[in-house]
Structure 1
Amino acid sequence: MITIAERLDSAYGRIKQATNKSNRSEQSITLLAVSKTKPISLILDAYEAGHRKFGESYVQESVEKIEKMAHLNDIQWHFIGPIQSNKTKLIAQNFNWVQSIDRLKIAKRLNEQRPSNLKPLNILIQVNISNEASKSGCSIEEVNNLAQSIKTLDNLKLRGLMAIPAKKETVEQQIEDFTMLKTCFEALQTQYKDIDTLSMGMSADLEPAIAAGSTMVRIGTDIFGARS
Protein backbone atom coordinates (compact mmCIF):
# COMPACT_ATOMS: atom_id res chain seq x y z
CA MET A 1 0.00 0.00 0.00
CA ILE A 2 1.35 3.43 -0.98
CA THR A 3 1.97 5.66 2.03
CA ILE A 4 1.10 9.35 2.36
CA ALA A 5 4.83 10.12 2.50
CA GLU A 6 5.33 8.36 -0.84
CA ARG A 7 2.38 10.21 -2.34
CA LEU A 8 3.84 13.52 -1.18
CA ASP A 9 7.18 12.59 -2.73
CA SER A 10 5.39 11.82 -5.98
CA ALA A 11 3.59 15.18 -5.93
CA TYR A 12 6.87 17.00 -5.33
CA GLY A 13 8.35 14.97 -8.16
CA ARG A 14 5.67 16.26 -10.51
CA ILE A 15 6.36 19.81 -9.36
CA LYS A 16 10.08 19.34 -9.97
CA GLN A 17 9.49 18.03 -13.49
CA ALA A 18 7.07 20.86 -14.30
CA THR A 19 9.36 23.58 -12.97
CA ASN A 20 12.37 22.14 -14.80
CA LYS A 21 10.40 22.12 -18.04
CA SER A 22 9.37 25.74 -17.49
CA ASN A 23 12.87 26.86 -16.41
CA ARG A 24 11.58 27.77 -12.98
CA SER A 25 12.90 27.05 -9.51
CA GLU A 26 11.29 24.15 -7.67
CA GLN A 27 11.26 26.42 -4.60
CA SER A 28 9.01 28.91 -6.42
CA ILE A 29 6.03 26.53 -5.95
CA THR A 30 4.21 25.95 -2.67
CA LEU A 31 2.33 22.67 -2.32
CA LEU A 32 -0.97 22.93 -0.47
CA ALA A 33 -2.21 19.50 0.59
CA VAL A 34 -6.00 19.57 0.28
CA SER A 35 -7.26 17.53 3.22
CA LYS A 36 -11.00 18.23 3.03
CA THR A 37 -13.16 15.18 3.87
CA LYS A 38 -10.03 13.31 5.00
CA PRO A 39 -9.54 12.02 8.57
CA ILE A 40 -7.05 13.50 10.99
CA SER A 41 -5.02 10.28 10.81
CA LEU A 42 -4.09 10.98 7.19
CA ILE A 43 -3.27 14.61 7.91
CA LEU A 44 -1.01 13.44 10.73
CA ASP A 45 0.70 11.06 8.30
CA ALA A 46 1.42 14.03 6.02
CA TYR A 47 2.57 16.09 9.01
CA GLU A 48 4.95 13.37 10.12
CA ALA A 49 6.32 13.28 6.56
CA GLY A 50 7.21 16.96 6.98
CA HIS A 51 4.24 18.71 5.39
CA ARG A 52 2.77 21.78 7.09
CA LYS A 53 0.28 23.48 4.73
CA PHE A 54 -3.24 22.09 4.47
CA GLY A 55 -6.40 23.19 2.65
CA GLU A 56 -9.97 22.72 3.90
CA SER A 57 -13.37 23.56 2.40
CA TYR A 58 -16.02 22.66 5.00
CA VAL A 59 -16.12 24.90 8.03
CA GLN A 60 -17.47 22.62 10.76
CA GLU A 61 -15.33 19.68 9.71
CA SER A 62 -12.18 21.76 9.44
CA VAL A 63 -12.64 23.56 12.77
CA GLU A 64 -12.94 20.20 14.52
CA LYS A 65 -9.67 19.11 12.92
CA ILE A 66 -7.93 22.38 13.78
CA GLU A 67 -9.04 22.18 17.42
CA LYS A 68 -7.93 18.56 17.78
CA MET A 69 -4.55 19.36 16.20
CA ALA A 70 -4.01 22.68 18.00
CA HIS A 71 -0.93 21.31 19.75
CA LEU A 72 0.77 21.22 16.34
CA ASN A 73 1.09 24.98 16.17
CA ASP A 74 3.28 25.10 13.07
CA ILE A 75 0.49 23.96 10.74
CA GLN A 76 -0.73 26.58 8.28
CA TRP A 77 -4.46 26.19 7.57
CA HIS A 78 -5.98 27.51 4.32
CA PHE A 79 -9.73 27.82 3.76
CA ILE A 80 -10.39 27.20 0.06
CA GLY A 81 -14.16 26.62 -0.17
CA PRO A 82 -17.19 28.84 -0.75
CA ILE A 83 -17.98 31.04 2.25
CA GLN A 84 -21.43 31.57 3.78
CA SER A 85 -21.98 34.71 5.84
CA ASN A 86 -22.92 32.73 8.95
CA LYS A 87 -19.58 30.86 8.87
CA THR A 88 -17.19 33.81 8.63
CA LYS A 89 -16.56 34.05 12.38
CA LEU A 90 -15.27 30.49 12.64
CA ILE A 91 -13.06 31.02 9.59
CA ALA A 92 -11.70 34.31 10.94
CA GLN A 93 -10.90 32.69 14.30
CA ASN A 94 -9.24 29.51 13.04
CA PHE A 95 -7.51 29.94 9.69
CA ASN A 96 -4.22 31.51 8.59
CA TRP A 97 -5.29 31.98 4.97
CA VAL A 98 -8.57 32.34 3.06
CA GLN A 99 -8.28 31.69 -0.67
CA SER A 100 -11.92 32.06 -1.67
CA ILE A 101 -12.87 35.73 -1.25
CA ASP A 102 -15.13 36.82 -4.09
CA ARG A 103 -17.17 39.66 -2.60
CA LEU A 104 -16.59 42.58 -0.25
CA LYS A 105 -19.34 41.62 2.21
CA ILE A 106 -17.45 38.46 3.19
CA ALA A 107 -14.11 40.28 3.39
CA LYS A 108 -15.61 42.88 5.73
CA ARG A 109 -17.08 40.22 8.01
CA LEU A 110 -13.74 38.38 8.21
CA ASN A 111 -12.00 41.67 8.99
CA GLU A 112 -14.44 42.51 11.77
CA GLN A 113 -14.33 39.01 13.27
CA ARG A 114 -10.57 38.42 13.15
CA PRO A 115 -9.37 38.19 16.78
CA SER A 116 -7.05 41.05 17.78
CA ASN A 117 -4.44 38.63 19.15
CA LEU A 118 -3.95 37.00 15.74
CA LYS A 119 -1.96 38.28 12.78
CA PRO A 120 -3.93 39.69 9.83
CA LEU A 121 -5.68 37.01 7.82
CA ASN A 122 -3.93 36.30 4.51
CA ILE A 123 -6.39 36.71 1.65
CA LEU A 124 -6.59 35.53 -1.95
CA ILE A 125 -9.31 36.79 -4.27
CA GLN A 126 -11.02 33.91 -6.06
CA VAL A 127 -11.55 34.64 -9.74
CA ASN A 128 -14.11 32.77 -11.85
CA ILE A 129 -11.72 32.80 -14.78
CA SER A 130 -13.93 30.61 -17.00
CA ASN A 131 -17.18 32.45 -16.10
CA GLU A 132 -18.87 29.25 -14.96
CA ALA A 133 -22.29 29.75 -13.36
CA SER A 134 -21.71 26.75 -11.09
CA LYS A 135 -18.50 28.12 -9.53
CA SER A 136 -17.73 30.80 -7.01
CA GLY A 137 -15.45 33.70 -7.81
CA CYS A 138 -15.64 37.26 -9.03
CA SER A 139 -15.13 38.17 -12.66
CA ILE A 140 -11.69 39.25 -13.77
CA GLU A 141 -13.12 42.73 -14.37
CA GLU A 142 -14.10 42.99 -10.69
CA VAL A 143 -10.67 42.14 -9.27
CA ASN A 144 -9.26 45.66 -9.11
CA ASN A 145 -12.18 47.18 -7.21
CA LEU A 146 -12.32 44.28 -4.78
CA ALA A 147 -8.57 44.45 -4.20
CA GLN A 148 -8.73 48.19 -3.49
CA SER A 149 -11.47 47.64 -0.91
CA ILE A 150 -9.70 44.73 0.79
CA LYS A 151 -6.54 46.81 1.13
CA THR A 152 -8.44 49.22 3.40
CA LEU A 153 -9.24 46.45 5.91
CA ASP A 154 -6.57 46.36 8.62
CA ASN A 155 -7.13 42.78 9.77
CA LEU A 156 -6.74 41.34 6.28
CA LYS A 157 -3.60 41.06 4.17
CA LEU A 158 -4.17 40.70 0.44
CA ARG A 159 -1.64 38.23 -0.98
CA GLY A 160 -2.91 37.40 -4.48
CA LEU A 161 -5.38 35.40 -6.55
CA MET A 162 -6.89 31.92 -6.76
CA ALA A 163 -8.88 30.20 -9.49
CA ILE A 164 -10.38 26.85 -10.47
CA PRO A 165 -10.66 27.04 -14.28
CA ALA A 166 -13.07 24.87 -16.23
CA LYS A 167 -11.79 21.58 -17.63
CA LYS A 168 -10.46 21.99 -21.15
CA GLU A 169 -9.81 19.53 -23.97
CA THR A 170 -6.19 20.52 -24.55
CA VAL A 171 -3.21 21.64 -22.48
CA GLU A 172 -3.00 24.76 -24.65
CA GLN A 173 -6.53 25.75 -23.66
CA GLN A 174 -5.71 25.17 -20.01
CA ILE A 175 -2.62 27.34 -20.25
CA GLU A 176 -4.66 30.08 -21.94
CA ASP A 177 -6.98 30.39 -18.93
CA PHE A 178 -4.11 30.20 -16.46
CA THR A 179 -2.17 32.86 -18.37
CA MET A 180 -5.14 35.21 -18.23
CA LEU A 181 -5.09 34.95 -14.44
CA LYS A 182 -1.29 35.40 -14.36
CA THR A 183 -1.67 38.66 -16.30
CA CYS A 184 -4.20 39.91 -13.75
CA PHE A 185 -1.88 38.81 -10.93
CA GLU A 186 1.06 40.72 -12.39
CA ALA A 187 -1.08 43.84 -12.70
CA LEU A 188 -1.90 43.60 -8.98
CA GLN A 189 1.78 43.20 -8.17
CA THR A 190 2.50 46.59 -9.71
CA GLN A 191 0.00 48.19 -7.33
CA TYR A 192 0.47 46.38 -4.01
CA LYS A 193 3.71 45.25 -2.37
CA ASP A 194 2.38 42.14 -0.62
CA ILE A 195 1.05 40.36 -3.72
CA ASP A 196 3.10 37.16 -4.02
CA THR A 197 0.71 34.20 -4.31
CA LEU A 198 -1.00 32.85 -7.42
CA SER A 199 -2.93 29.74 -6.39
CA MET A 200 -3.86 27.72 -9.46
CA GLY A 201 -3.43 24.11 -10.46
CA MET A 202 -4.67 20.88 -8.88
CA SER A 203 -3.96 17.17 -9.31
CA ALA A 204 -5.33 17.10 -12.85
CA ASP A 205 -3.75 20.30 -14.20
CA LEU A 206 -0.65 20.95 -12.12
CA GLU A 207 1.73 21.06 -15.09
CA PRO A 208 -0.04 23.68 -17.27
CA ALA A 209 -0.64 25.81 -14.17
CA ILE A 210 3.06 25.86 -13.36
CA ALA A 211 3.91 26.54 -17.00
CA ALA A 212 1.63 29.59 -16.85
CA GLY A 213 3.15 30.99 -13.66
CA SER A 214 1.40 29.46 -10.63
CA THR A 215 3.16 29.87 -7.28
CA MET A 216 0.89 27.50 -5.33
CA VAL A 217 -0.76 24.23 -6.38
CA ARG A 218 -3.58 22.61 -4.44
CA ILE A 219 -3.23 18.82 -4.44
CA GLY A 220 -5.76 16.54 -2.76
CA THR A 221 -6.47 13.34 -4.69
CA ASP A 222 -2.83 12.58 -5.53
CA ILE A 223 -1.86 12.85 -1.87
CA PHE A 224 -4.84 11.55 0.10
CA GLY A 225 -6.64 9.50 -2.55
CA ALA A 226 -10.05 9.96 -4.14
CA ARG A 227 -12.95 11.21 -2.06
CA SER A 228 -14.94 8.33 -0.63
Structure 2
Amino acid sequence: MSEEIVESGADAPKNDDARHADKMAKKKAARDKIMATKTDEKGLIIVHTGKGKGKSSAAFGMIFRHIAHGKPCAVVQFIKGAMWTGERDLIEKHFSDICQFHTMGEGFTWETQDRARDVAAAAAAWEKAKELIRDERNSMVLLDEINIALRYDYLDINDVLNFLKTEKPHMTHVVLTGRNAKEELIEIADLVTEMELIKHPFRSGIKGQPGVEF
Protein backbone atom coordinates (compact mmCIF):
# COMPACT_ATOMS: atom_id res chain seq x y z
CA MET A 1 0.00 0.00 0.00
CA SER A 2 1.42 3.38 -0.97
CA GLU A 3 1.92 6.00 1.65
CA GLU A 4 -0.13 9.16 1.56
CA ILE A 5 1.85 12.31 2.09
CA VAL A 6 -0.20 14.99 3.74
CA GLU A 7 1.22 18.46 3.39
CA SER A 8 0.20 21.10 5.83
CA GLY A 9 1.35 24.34 7.42
CA ALA A 10 4.58 25.88 6.12
CA ASP A 11 5.32 22.82 3.98
CA ALA A 12 2.14 23.18 1.90
CA PRO A 13 2.67 24.76 -1.52
CA LYS A 14 1.24 28.26 -1.79
CA ASN A 15 -1.60 28.73 -4.19
CA ASP A 16 -1.49 31.36 -6.92
CA ASP A 17 -3.41 33.95 -4.89
CA ALA A 18 -1.06 33.66 -1.93
CA ARG A 19 2.03 33.87 -4.13
CA HIS A 20 0.62 36.95 -5.84
CA ALA A 21 -0.17 38.58 -2.50
CA ASP A 22 3.38 37.95 -1.24
CA LYS A 23 4.90 39.29 -4.45
CA MET A 24 2.79 42.46 -4.36
CA ALA A 25 3.51 43.01 -0.66
CA LYS A 26 7.25 42.91 -1.35
CA LYS A 27 6.83 45.21 -4.33
CA LYS A 28 4.80 47.66 -2.22
CA ALA A 29 7.41 47.65 0.53
CA ALA A 30 10.17 48.38 -2.00
CA ARG A 31 8.05 51.08 -3.65
CA ASP A 32 7.21 52.71 -0.31
CA LYS A 33 10.90 52.79 0.56
CA ILE A 34 11.69 54.57 -2.71
CA MET A 35 8.78 57.01 -2.36
CA ALA A 36 9.89 57.95 1.16
CA THR A 37 13.05 59.45 -0.34
CA LYS A 38 11.12 61.65 -2.83
CA THR A 39 10.38 64.74 -0.75
CA ASP A 40 11.41 67.68 -2.94
CA GLU A 41 9.01 69.84 -4.94
CA LYS A 42 9.85 72.16 -7.81
CA GLY A 43 8.37 73.60 -10.95
CA LEU A 44 9.28 71.30 -13.81
CA ILE A 45 10.44 71.99 -17.34
CA ILE A 46 8.49 69.41 -19.33
CA VAL A 47 9.08 68.59 -23.01
CA HIS A 48 6.72 66.58 -25.22
CA THR A 49 8.29 65.80 -28.58
CA GLY A 50 8.52 63.07 -31.23
CA LYS A 51 6.72 62.18 -34.46
CA GLY A 52 3.82 60.42 -32.77
CA LYS A 53 0.44 61.91 -31.97
CA GLY A 54 -0.40 63.04 -28.44
CA LYS A 55 2.11 65.76 -27.55
CA SER A 56 -0.37 68.61 -27.17
CA SER A 57 -3.13 66.23 -26.03
CA ALA A 58 -1.03 65.07 -23.08
CA ALA A 59 -0.04 68.65 -22.25
CA PHE A 60 -3.66 69.77 -22.21
CA GLY A 61 -4.38 66.85 -19.92
CA MET A 62 -2.06 68.46 -17.37
CA ILE A 63 -3.68 71.86 -17.94
CA PHE A 64 -7.09 70.35 -17.17
CA ARG A 65 -5.64 68.73 -14.06
CA HIS A 66 -4.52 72.17 -12.91
CA ILE A 67 -7.98 73.54 -13.61
CA ALA A 68 -9.52 70.66 -11.63
CA HIS A 69 -7.24 71.46 -8.68
CA GLY A 70 -8.17 75.15 -8.87
CA LYS A 71 -4.62 76.13 -9.83
CA PRO A 72 -4.26 79.13 -12.18
CA CYS A 73 -2.55 78.25 -15.45
CA ALA A 74 -2.09 79.54 -18.99
CA VAL A 75 -1.67 78.42 -22.59
CA VAL A 76 0.23 80.10 -25.41
CA GLN A 77 -0.14 78.54 -28.86
CA PHE A 78 2.80 79.34 -31.10
CA ILE A 79 1.63 77.81 -34.37
CA LYS A 80 -2.07 76.98 -34.35
CA GLY A 81 -3.92 80.11 -35.36
CA ALA A 82 -7.24 80.26 -37.17
CA MET A 83 -7.83 76.56 -36.59
CA TRP A 84 -10.62 75.93 -34.10
CA THR A 85 -9.85 73.41 -31.34
CA GLY A 86 -12.11 71.83 -28.77
CA GLU A 87 -9.76 72.52 -25.86
CA ARG A 88 -9.57 76.23 -26.62
CA ASP A 89 -13.35 76.48 -26.94
CA LEU A 90 -13.91 74.63 -23.66
CA ILE A 91 -11.37 76.68 -21.71
CA GLU A 92 -12.49 80.04 -23.07
CA LYS A 93 -16.18 79.27 -22.45
CA HIS A 94 -15.95 77.68 -19.03
CA PHE A 95 -12.55 78.17 -17.40
CA SER A 96 -11.27 81.57 -18.55
CA ASP A 97 -11.27 82.74 -14.92
CA ILE A 98 -8.53 80.24 -14.04
CA CYS A 99 -6.78 79.54 -17.36
CA GLN A 100 -5.62 82.24 -19.76
CA PHE A 101 -5.57 81.14 -23.39
CA HIS A 102 -3.57 83.00 -26.05
CA THR A 103 -3.49 81.80 -29.66
CA MET A 104 -0.63 83.78 -31.17
CA GLY A 105 0.36 81.86 -34.29
CA GLU A 106 -1.08 82.25 -37.75
CA GLY A 107 -0.94 78.62 -38.77
CA PHE A 108 1.76 76.25 -39.92
CA THR A 109 4.62 77.75 -41.92
CA TRP A 110 3.47 76.13 -45.16
CA GLU A 111 0.15 77.95 -44.74
CA THR A 112 1.51 81.46 -44.18
CA GLN A 113 4.45 81.09 -46.61
CA ASP A 114 5.81 84.29 -45.10
CA ARG A 115 8.85 83.85 -42.85
CA ALA A 116 8.84 87.47 -41.64
CA ARG A 117 5.25 87.11 -40.43
CA ASP A 118 6.03 83.78 -38.78
CA VAL A 119 9.05 85.25 -36.96
CA ALA A 120 7.03 88.25 -35.79
CA ALA A 121 4.20 86.02 -34.56
CA ALA A 122 6.63 83.75 -32.70
CA ALA A 123 8.34 86.75 -31.09
CA ALA A 124 5.00 88.12 -29.90
CA ALA A 125 4.03 84.69 -28.54
CA TRP A 126 7.35 84.41 -26.68
CA GLU A 127 6.88 87.83 -25.08
CA LYS A 128 3.42 86.78 -23.88
CA ALA A 129 4.85 83.47 -22.65
CA LYS A 130 7.52 85.23 -20.60
CA GLU A 131 4.92 87.53 -19.07
CA LEU A 132 2.76 84.57 -18.03
CA ILE A 133 5.69 82.52 -16.69
CA ARG A 134 6.96 85.45 -14.61
CA ASP A 135 3.53 85.74 -12.98
CA GLU A 136 3.93 83.41 -10.01
CA ARG A 137 0.17 83.04 -9.71
CA ASN A 138 0.35 80.68 -12.69
CA SER A 139 1.17 77.18 -11.56
CA MET A 140 1.66 75.91 -15.13
CA VAL A 141 2.23 77.56 -18.51
CA LEU A 142 1.87 75.48 -21.68
CA LEU A 143 3.88 76.65 -24.69
CA ASP A 144 2.11 74.67 -27.37
CA GLU A 145 4.16 73.94 -30.52
CA ILE A 146 7.04 76.18 -29.44
CA ASN A 147 9.42 73.43 -30.57
CA ILE A 148 8.35 74.07 -34.16
CA ALA A 149 9.12 77.77 -33.81
CA LEU A 150 12.53 76.85 -32.40
CA ARG A 151 13.16 74.28 -35.13
CA TYR A 152 12.69 76.89 -37.85
CA ASP A 153 14.74 79.45 -35.89
CA TYR A 154 11.79 81.81 -35.47
CA LEU A 155 13.08 82.10 -31.91
CA ASP A 156 16.62 82.05 -30.54
CA ILE A 157 17.05 78.84 -28.57
CA ASN A 158 19.59 80.54 -26.30
CA ASP A 159 17.07 83.21 -25.31
CA VAL A 160 14.56 80.52 -24.38
CA LEU A 161 17.12 78.47 -22.43
CA ASN A 162 18.47 81.47 -20.53
CA PHE A 163 15.00 82.62 -19.57
CA LEU A 164 13.94 79.18 -18.33
CA LYS A 165 17.16 78.80 -16.33
CA THR A 166 17.26 82.28 -14.79
CA GLU A 167 13.76 83.74 -14.70
CA LYS A 168 11.27 80.89 -14.35
CA PRO A 169 9.86 80.97 -10.82
CA HIS A 170 10.94 77.98 -8.75
CA MET A 171 7.47 76.43 -8.44
CA THR A 172 6.14 77.15 -11.95
CA HIS A 173 5.78 74.26 -14.38
CA VAL A 174 6.49 75.03 -18.05
CA VAL A 175 5.44 72.57 -20.76
CA LEU A 176 6.95 72.83 -24.25
CA THR A 177 5.44 70.75 -27.06
CA GLY A 178 6.19 70.00 -30.70
CA ARG A 179 8.32 67.78 -32.88
CA ASN A 180 12.09 68.00 -33.10
CA ALA A 181 12.81 69.48 -29.69
CA LYS A 182 16.28 70.99 -29.60
CA GLU A 183 18.90 68.89 -27.81
CA GLU A 184 19.81 71.87 -25.65
CA LEU A 185 16.22 72.08 -24.43
CA ILE A 186 16.05 68.37 -23.74
CA GLU A 187 19.25 68.68 -21.70
CA ILE A 188 17.85 71.26 -19.26
CA ALA A 189 14.37 69.68 -19.01
CA ASP A 190 13.25 67.74 -15.95
CA LEU A 191 10.79 65.53 -17.81
CA VAL A 192 11.01 64.58 -21.49
CA THR A 193 8.59 62.33 -23.33
CA GLU A 194 9.07 61.30 -26.96
CA MET A 195 5.89 60.19 -28.70
CA GLU A 196 6.78 57.35 -31.07
CA LEU A 197 4.82 56.96 -34.29
CA ILE A 198 3.80 53.37 -34.94
CA LYS A 199 0.60 53.80 -36.94
CA HIS A 200 -1.41 56.87 -37.93
CA PRO A 201 -4.79 56.96 -39.74
CA PHE A 202 -3.60 59.90 -41.89
CA ARG A 203 -1.45 57.43 -43.83
CA SER A 204 -4.59 55.48 -44.68
CA GLY A 205 -6.34 58.53 -46.08
CA ILE A 206 -8.29 59.41 -42.93
CA LYS A 207 -8.44 63.12 -42.17
CA GLY A 208 -8.15 64.77 -38.77
CA GLN A 209 -11.39 64.42 -36.80
CA PRO A 210 -13.00 66.44 -33.99
CA GLY A 211 -12.35 64.92 -30.60
CA VAL A 212 -9.25 63.08 -31.81
CA GLU A 213 -7.00 65.65 -33.48
CA PHE A 214 -8.67 68.88 -32.36
TM-score by length of 1: 0.34
Structure showing greater radius of gyration is 2
Of the two structures, which has the highest relative contact order with CA contacts closer than 8 Å and spacing of 6 or more?
2
